């Protein structure tokens, strides 16, 4: 089944794929830079679907060709299209961001460097939260190793036309694990507890992640902060990398502070409060300025939680 998606322009799929391919190595996402293709397995209504998204058109007149297997209802196909549009931030009017900061001394050069770059988000809030928890205070390489080990333990590996795709485990699968199983894979005691506890909250119905989509950022913060192992930085990352919210400022993040230091040419390390003060005029584009500053360092955000 083929569907054409027409993102708002500018939309640079090549920059987005480059970002995905460099942002932590695991076997969930397959990126073909030569042919501008993104592939992965996703969960939709308890079904596993292989999606392929390929670039067509240009940065200023973009198209995405989305392919998936047959046998899905019209409603499921519509849900899948909504998910893919959200994953690739196709509906964001990024021109407004560019116009607002076209004359900004520090931000305008970032726009020039990363013109058309948009967020690529995870399709599933559970998957994203678990990956963020895994990434707390460890480097990208080891985080990718732990993610692969979790998939080996509780997820699946599915072969399709000679390619092997990793499928992230469901909350039900992770909820059935015990801490010692993750400890044996080199998860810390705390991370093992946090991940399993989070899965059990979802699996028991005590936490409905679908309800988060209709909440404002602060409501989400207030809902998730009481959960053990989930701090402000973790929720900010969820808002950015799973929900695609455009006005999130993780001011305590060391990577963001390093990016500010570089872009503003500071001879000192700015504090969280320094960043908040500089960002007083960034709304409603805090996320994208943060994202471009991270990209200027070619690093992921550096965890403060955990």
Q: Tell me what the mean pLDDT of segment 152-166 comes to.
A: 93
**125 lies in some domain:** no
CA end-to-end span of the chain: 43
**293 lies in some domain:** no
CA dihedral 207, 208, 211, 217 (to 10 degrees): 30
Domain, as residue range, for 27: 2-92
For residue 140, what pLDDT is reported? 83
**124 lies in some domain:** no
Q: Percentage of residues in the chain with pLDDT exceeding 90?
A: 84
For residue 25, what pLDDT is reported? 60
Q: Tell me what the mean pLDDT of segment 182-196 comes to.
A: 97
Comparing 19-33, 85-99, 235-249, which segment has the lowest mean pLDDT?
Answer: 19-33
Q: Tell me what the mean pLDDT of segment 164-188 comes to.
A: 97
CATH of the domain at 7: 3.30.310.20
Which residues, at least 6 apart from 240, have a Cβ–Cβ distance to it below 8 Å?
A: 119, 121, 248, 250, 287, 290, 291
For residue 168, what pLDDT is reported? 95
For residue 119, what pLDDT is reported? 97
Retrieve residue 141's tokens: 């390489």
**8 lies in some domain:** yes
pLDDT tens figures, 96-152: 999 999 999 999 999 999 999 999 999 999 999 999 999 988 888 899 899 999 999
Retrieve residue 264's tokens: 């503003």
How far apart CA 143 and CA 133 sit, in angstroms, is: 9
Retrieve residue 277's tokens: 């003060």
How far apart CA 278 and CA 281 sit, in angstroms, is: 7
**73 lies in some domain:** yes
**306 lies in some domain:** no
Using the predicted structure, report yes or no on whether residue 253 has a pLDDT greater than 70: yes
**281 lies in some domain:** no
Using the predicted structure, report yes or no on whether residue 301 has a pLDDT greater than 70: no
Total of domains in the chain: 1
**33 lies in some domain:** yes
Using the predicted structure, report yes or no on whether residue 305 has a pLDDT greater than 70: no
CB 62 within 8 A of CB 40: no
Residue in 46, 114, 124, 111 with CA at minimum distance from that of residue 84: 124
Q: Tell me what the mean pLDDT of segment 42-67 comes to.
A: 93
């Amino acid at each position: 089944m083929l569907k054409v998606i027409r993102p708002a322009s500018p939309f640079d799929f090549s920059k987005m794929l480059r970002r995905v391919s460099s942002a932590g190595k695991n076997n969930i996402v397959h990126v073909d830079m030569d042919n501008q293709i993104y592939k992965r397995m996703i969960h939709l209504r308890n079904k596993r679907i292989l999606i392929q998204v390929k670039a067509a058109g240009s940065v200023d007149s973009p198209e995405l060709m989305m392919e998936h297997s047959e046998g899905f209802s019209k409603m499921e196909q519509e849900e899948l299209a909504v998910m893919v549009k959200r994953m690739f931030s196709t509906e964001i009017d990024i021109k407004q961001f560019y116009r607002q900061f076209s004359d900004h001394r520090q931000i305008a050069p970032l726009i020039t460097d990363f013109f058309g770059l948009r967020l690529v988000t995870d399709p599933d809030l559970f998957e994203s939260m678990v990956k963020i928890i895994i990434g707390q205070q460890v480097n990208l390489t080891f985080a990718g190793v732990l993610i692969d080990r979790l998939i080996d333990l509780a997820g699946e590996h599915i072969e399709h036309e000679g390619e092997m795709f990793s499928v992230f485990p469901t909350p039900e699968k992770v909820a059935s694990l015990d801490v010692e199983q993750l400890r044996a894979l080199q998860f810390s005691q705390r991370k093992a507890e946090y991940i399993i506890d989070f899965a059990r909250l979802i699996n028991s119905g005590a936490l409905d992640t679908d309800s988060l989509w209709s909440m404002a950022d602060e409501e989400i913060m207030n809902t998730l902060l009481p959960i053990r192992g989930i701090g402000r930085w973790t929720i900010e990352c969820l808002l950015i990398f799973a929900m695609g919210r455009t006005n999130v400022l993780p001011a305590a993040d060391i990577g963001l502070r390093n990016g500010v230091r570089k872009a503003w040419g500071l001879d000192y390390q700015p504090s969280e409060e320094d960043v908040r003060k500089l960002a007083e005029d960034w709304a409603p584009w805090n996320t994208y300025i943060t994202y471009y500053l991270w990209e200027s360092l070619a690093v992921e955000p550096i965890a403060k939680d955990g």
